[in-house]
Amino acid sequence: MFSKSQAEHQWLEQMIGDWSFDHQCMGPDNESSQSSGKMTCRTMGGLWLICESSGGTSDEDKWSSIMTLGFDPTKNRYVGTFVGSMMANIWHYRGTVDESGKRLPLDSKGPKFGGAGTCLYRDTIEIVDANEWLMISEMQDDDGAWVKFMHGKHTRI
């Protein structure tokens, strides 16, 4: 019953530590905004990465989130979740590291920005080096094109 850490679990260890981040976001009305904050990533038993984030500058826009990531050897893919204080749904992740070994696209499904219906989403983690990684969030529009709505840079503290 006890799982052992594999190379795929060790790939996630690149994100362990304390990070500051800046995110550029695009809302449903094409209005641009920025968000900054801190993130702490830790391992749980060498099998799960737990990332806790918080940001915002005033009481009205403060937020927090928790992302979990692990590797399921029976499915041969990464799995995880994302929850945030700014939304009522849980995001279920699944993905595989690409050929470069630097990018982990995580696919999910969730509510459209307007609230009517659902669509596919993709959060991509891209490891730049030991002290920097990026998060790119995209959603698939009705025509099947991927539209980027968030780009974030995480810098080791």
Domains annotated for the chain, with CATH where assigned, are 7-26+33-156 (2.40.128.20)
Mean pLDDT of 43-67: 92
> 28 pLDDT exceeds 70?
no
Place of tokens 């596919």: 120
What does pTM read for this prediction? 0.94
Angle at 113 between CA 110 and CA 114, to 5 degrees: 120
Q: What is the pLDDT of residue 114?
A: 78
CA distances from residue 60 to 25, 55, 117 in whole angstroms, order as listed: 17, 11, 27
Which of 85, 94, 88 shows the shortest CA–CA distance to 121?
Answer: 94
Rounded Cα distance, 2 and 16, in Å = 22
Q: How many CA atoms lie within 13 A of 31 on its CB side?
A: 4
> 54 pLDDT exceeds 80?
yes
